[in-house]
Amino acid sequence: MPSVLVPQEQDFPRWYQEVIAKSQLAENGPVRGTMVIRPWGYAIWERLEAAIDERIKATGARNAYFPLLIPEAFLRREAEHVEGFSPELAVVTHGGGKELEEAIVVRPTSETIVNSSFARWISSYRDLPLLVNQWANVVRWELRPRLFLRTSEFLWQEGHTAHASREEAHAYALRILAEVYADAMAEELAIPVFQGRKTDREKFAGAEVSWSCEGVMRDGKALQMGTSHELGQNFARAFDIQFSGRDGQLRYVWQTSWGASTRLIGAMIMVHGDDDGLRVPPRLAPVQVVVLVARAGEGVVEAASRLVDDLQRAGVRAELDDNVEVSVGRRIVDHELRGVPIRLELGPRDLAANQVVVARRARGEKETAALEYVALEIPNLLAQDQGELLAQATALRDGRTRPAESVDEARELASDGFARLPWRAVGTEGEDRLAQAGVSVRCLVRDDGQPVDDPAAAGVDALVARAY
């Protein structure tokens, strides 16, 4: 049956929009730039959210919640921060039918309102480190919205911490980057990422150092998938967050902030999706296996129902599709569009042969298996296919990352992938030239894989690409 989607190679942006709509992930909201996340899309997000949340808690952070509405005056306490966000702010000027005495900002991020609380909560070294995370929505007024990638409102988590020393804050920011973000992206999303340091041009407004996870999409563009920032003492000074040390002296805390959002769903679509639709990694799939009754016949529906029960007892998220009033072809297309990892097809002939057809979305393969044993085999197949998607995504990343010897060559290579060249060969002047061509330095990395503490040091490379 022909694909219902425009091929990726023909029109990747259109393919992206079509696969979101036809797989029922999300749709545009009534206000420009907003989105409605439909149940299938939200169920994927819930599983990813839980996986990230578990990793965050393993680092010692605990969840809290801070208000959506922030006094505009709070943002103005940190000049670089407000300057960086001013074009994206949504401001409330009226409430209860009256003009407000002070304008209120709908949170674009929560550094300011969190730190107003930290100033009350921290007084002694005994209160440190203070490690807080929240799951929330934020609003950043986007001029060119695109579902999941850039919307005026999106869901995310944002972590905020306070530490007694710069070294402790530095270590924690990198721990979040590696143990929470990069690990969840590889293990859950099956997407390998580059972990590196942002240049001063690209860093977060108000940060001293920004670190990021950068993914390579199927069209060769980069996607910033998660960031972790060392804020130094910028916000601590702006909000007067001081602690009494063991020696009784007052000192300002050192801080971090970090976040990842529903943009990760966009990454999943663009890394794993193909011309038939989504391919959802088994660990995130709301339905890992659909048992499809190909054609009704004596005992077929009953056998399919028993198979679903057996799969569920084996810990598999399984669903029965016995809607035989819709053609088999149409239903297969729908399940492939949604990216269900495994489809088990059962009809009268299969039942008579005591077998079932196993269709694996990650591999695009079909095979037959013994009906009585297939439920026991499925968990292993799901684990294999999770690994298969990671292997394919790793091959994509590595194949789309090529060495360059000059800024001009890097600019050309960035037309369909990442270019890697020494940062010394780029510098701020080269970065400006790249920006004029719509290309950016995504992050700085070292040959040995260690964090870039000194961008001017030998062995530091720039990863250059066009980005979403």
Q: Which amino acid is at 160?
A: H
- Taking alpha carbons only, the member of 188, 346, 329 closest to residue 260 is 188
Question: Is residue 380 very low, low, confident or very high in pLDDT (cuts 50, 70, 90)?
Answer: very high
231-272 pLDDT per residue, tens: 999 999 999 999 999 999 999 999 999 999 999 999 999 999
pLDDT of residue 205: 87
Instruction: Render pLDDT for 1-18 as a digit per residue (tens, 0 to 9).
Output: 556 999 999 999 999 999
Q: Specify the amino acid at residue 424.
A: R
Beta strands 62-63 and 130-139, pairing class: parallel
What are the helix (H) ranges across 255-406? 263-272, 300-313, 328-338, 348-352, 374-399
Domain 12-272 CATH (choose: 3.30.930.10, 3.40.50.1220, 1.20.1730.10, 3.40.50.300): 3.30.930.10
What is the rounded distance in angstroms from the CA atom of residue 31 to the CA atom of residue 266? Answer: 20
Alpha-carbon Rg for the chain, nearest whole angstrom, is 25
CA–CA separation, 418 vs 463, rounded Å?
Answer: 6
pLDDT in tens, 396-408: 999 999 999 999 9
Select from 3.30.110, 3.30.420, 1.10.3470, 1.10.287 the CATH code of 401-465: 3.30.110
Burial label for 356, CB within 10 Å (0-12, 13-18, 19+), is buried
pLDDT over 90 at 80, yes or no: no
- To the question of pTM greater than 0.85 for the whole model, the response is yes
pLDDT tens digit sequence for 280-302: 999 999 999 999 999 988 899 99
343-353: pLDDT as tens digits: 999 999 999 99
Q: What's residue 82's pLDDT?
A: 66
Helix (H), strand (E) at residue 169: helix 166-175
Structure confidence at residue 339 as a pLDDT band (50, 70, 90): very high
pLDDT value for 123: 98
The predicted structure's pLDDT at residue 2: 57
Query: How confident is the model over 86-108, as a mean pLDDT?
Result: 92
Q: What is residue 209's predicted lDDT score, i.e. its pLDDT? A: 98
- Separation CA 311–CA 288 (nearest Å): 10
Q: Which two tokens stand for residue 37?
A: 């996340």
What is the DSSP secondary-structure string of 186-238? HHTS----EEEEPPTTTSPTT-SEEEEEEEE-TTS-EEEEEEEEEEETHHHHH
Q: Which two tokens stand for residue 158?
A: 């944002």
The tokens 């960035």 sit on which residue? Answer: 414
Residues 438-457: tens digit of each pLDDT: 999 999 999 898 999 999 99
CATH pick for 289-377 out of 3.40.50.150, 3.60.21.10, 3.40.50.800, 3.50.50.60: 3.40.50.800
* DSSP helix, strand, coil percent of the chain (3-state; round to 5): 35, 30, 35
Q: Where are the domains of the chain?
A: 12-272, 289-377, 401-465
Phi, psi of 403 (to 5 degrees): -75, 150
Q: What is the mean pLDDT of residues 43-66?
A: 98
**Helix, strand, or coil here: 345?**
strand
pLDDT for 115 beyond 80: yes
127-154 confidence digits (pLDDT tens): 999 999 999 999 999 889 999 999 999 9
Beta-ladder partners of 342: 289, 360
What pLDDT, on a 0 to 100 scale, did the predictor assign at position 1? Answer: 54
Are 307 and 375 spatial neighbours (Cβ–Cβ below 8 Å)? yes
Q: What is the mean pLDDT of the chain?
A: 96
Alpha carbon distance 336, 311 (integer Å): 20
- Integer Cα distance of 412 and 423 in angstroms: 17
Query: What is the C-alpha separation between 332 and 342, in angstroms, rounded?
Result: 11
Instruction: Supply the pLDDT for residue 386.
Output: 98
In tens, the pLDDT along 171-183 reads: 999 999 999 999 9
Q: CB-side exposure of 106: number of CA atoms within 13 Å?
A: 16
> How far apart are alpha carbons 436 and 443 in whole angstroms?
18
- The answer to whether 172 and 129 are in contact (CB under 8 A) is yes
What residues contact residue 334 under an 8 Å CB cut-off, 6+ apart?
none
pLDDT-above-70 percentage for the chain: 99
